[in-house]
Structure 1
Amino acid sequence: MLWLHMIQYSGFVLAQISNATLVWLILTKAQKLFGTYRHVMCTFAVYSLVYAWVEVLAQPIMHIKGPCFIVFMESPLKYFGWIANHIVCLYCASFALCISLLAVQFFYRYVAMCRPELLMKIEGFKLIYIFIPCLICFVLWFEFVYYGMANTVEKQIYMREELEDYYEEDSTRVAFIAPMYWSIGRDGEKQWIIGDVIGSIGCVCIIVACFSTIVVCASTIYLTMKSSTCHMSARTLELNRQLFVTLTFQTILPFLMMYSPVGLLITLPVFEVYVASLANIVPATAAIYPSLEPLIAIVCIKEFRRTLTCKFKMRRTET
């Protein structure tokens, strides 16, 4: 899996550079432009920095066989018992934190644009309240994975040959999580594993709930900006348009690179679609994602783009 590790390490380095650049731009340029919203933007950028660290610590490998979908570690920490197991679960739970933070950003923009009378209720220290649902989604996803997709002897035996043949890995030693939807009993009939099914359904429900929030808020914001009753100045309306475009693309990107592929990986085992190591397209795209996300804000927000362009021109002039 050398090619996958190269993508993961490259994605990590680029994510640190691009997200650190965005954090610097937010701290130095966003105060007068976006007010309190800059804290929400900065939180998402810091999340991407942390996610890149979790991803490189886990270096996840994914594989599908029959009714089982496995995510196991390939980093040097893969044999470190409970520590490795928690890192894998933390990696999976990071998906919930990403989509919920995007939903929070859309909710804040919805309040600022459509319900400005409520804005004072989430200003200052009260801003912390809007992040509580993110923590709830994160904890729930972690629990669904930790308990509903736990490493069991049955799964170790079922995936033993696959991991040995494809990755030369010992399923009894490596840390992994795996939803296995059913097993075959002695009578040859399927025996559904309820805990794993509930865990997968729970993860899907979190994705659906967050995306539904995004769609509702985005639609309302768009209609408000297009409404003839909108009394914002041209400058304010332009700033809101830039933020709306930024959030839209920041939502489309993980939908294409993370959530649609992950949704497929959760669903395909139900139909026993044999994907095998092709499932590793998902950890590859998920490793690249955090390095691309901040570029959207840098390109779409005019002040950020202008600042970097001026810095680049100044350095070229000096040389």
Structure 2
Amino acid sequence: MSDAVWIQITNSSGMFGMILSMTSNCTLLALIMCKASPVKGPYKNILIFFCIFTMFYSSVEMFLRPIIHIYDDTLFVMQRKWFEMSPFVSHFTTTMYCGCYAMSFVLFALQFLYRYVTTCKPLYISLFQGLRFLFWIFGAFCIALSWEAAAFFLFPQSDRTQKMFLYVLKNSYDLDPHFVDYVPYRYVSLF
């Protein structure tokens, strides 16, 4: 299947995915918030935050319509813009996707850590209660922001990546370069 056909498939299914995500997460939030819900304590807070973040991530995904493409020694994280943006805003929103991607893994890890603590070390459940829960969320935000900052500052666009980017857009996707921005993760060999 060609890359251009894949773009058409993602265009068609993107809105459906966002609607499905919003509907299922709102339903889950309503069930969690219900007084009869069996979910209690810190796990309830983790699930609520996870649902809210998932809806935000779905919105970011729909807004950016990302494409991840590997060419030569570079992984391109590209966004297909809906409208013209300044280069700074465009690059910042593309790196925001990288931060959201990192945050999703951190939240999965947090959920599994909590499950481990409740099952194997129940004495430490207090580490997830009250204000301490906010420290876990703050830590997750810090990791996501560090990933976004790394993408923004450590992987700049260069003449070489710009040529590769234009080549990929022309030969693979047939997209207008004015409405696509990218973050180039270049692999650099130390040997």
Report the TM-score when normalising by structure 1.
0.53
Q: Verify the 8 A CA contact 1:73 1:175 in the aligned structure 2.
A: yes
The residue type paired with residue 46 of structure 2 is: V
- Residue 8, structure 1, aligned to residue 14, structure 2: yes
1:178 counterpart residue number: 184
Task: Report the secondary structure of 1:62's partner residue.
Answer: strand
Following superposition of structure 1 onto structure 2, how do residues 1-319 of structure 1 map, counting pairs within 5 Å?
1-29=7-35, 32-77=38-83, 79-171=85-177, 174-182=180-188, 192=189
Percent identity of equivalent pairs = 23
Deviation at 1:170, TM superposition (A): 4.9
What is the distance in 2 between the residues matched to 1:91 and 1:139? Answer: 11
RMSD: 2.2
| Change in 2 beyond 3 A, CA 1:30/1:125 | farther
Change (3 A) 1:78 1:60: farther
- Partners of 2:171 and 2:31 lie apart in 1 by 48
* Residue identity matched to 2:170: E
Aligned-pair CA distance for 1:20: 0.7
Quick one: structure 1 residues 91 and 78, their matched pair in 2 at CA, closer, same or farther if it must change by over 3 Å?
A: farther
1:84 and 1:175 in contact (8 A); partners too: yes
For residues 16-72 of structure 1, the C-alpha deviation after alignment (integer angstroms, 9 at most, x for no partner) is 111111111111156554223201111111111000000011101222221122121
Query: Counterpart in 2 of 1:298?
Result: none
Distance 2:172 2:36 in 1: 49
Gaps of 5+ in 1: 183-191, 195-319
Deviation at 1:129, TM superposition (A): 1.8
Separation in 1, partners of 2:127, 2:90? 41
Residue 36 of structure 1 aligns to a residue whose secondary structure is helix
Number of equivalenced pairs:
184
Partner AA of 2:80 in structure 1: E
Q: Quickly say closer, same or farther: Cα 1:107–1:42, change in 2 above 3 A.
A: same
How many Å apart are 1:78 and its aligned residue? 6.0
Distance, in Å, in 1 between the alignment partners of 2:42 and 2:68 is 40
Q: Alignment partner of 1:179: what SS? A: strand
> SS state of the match for residue 165, structure 2?
helix
What is the identity, as a one-letter code, of the residue corresponding to 1:99? F
Gapped regions of structure 2 (runs ≥ 5): 1-6
1 CA distance for matches of 2:39 and 2:65? Answer: 38
Give the 3-state SS of the residue equivalent to 2:186 in structure 1: coil
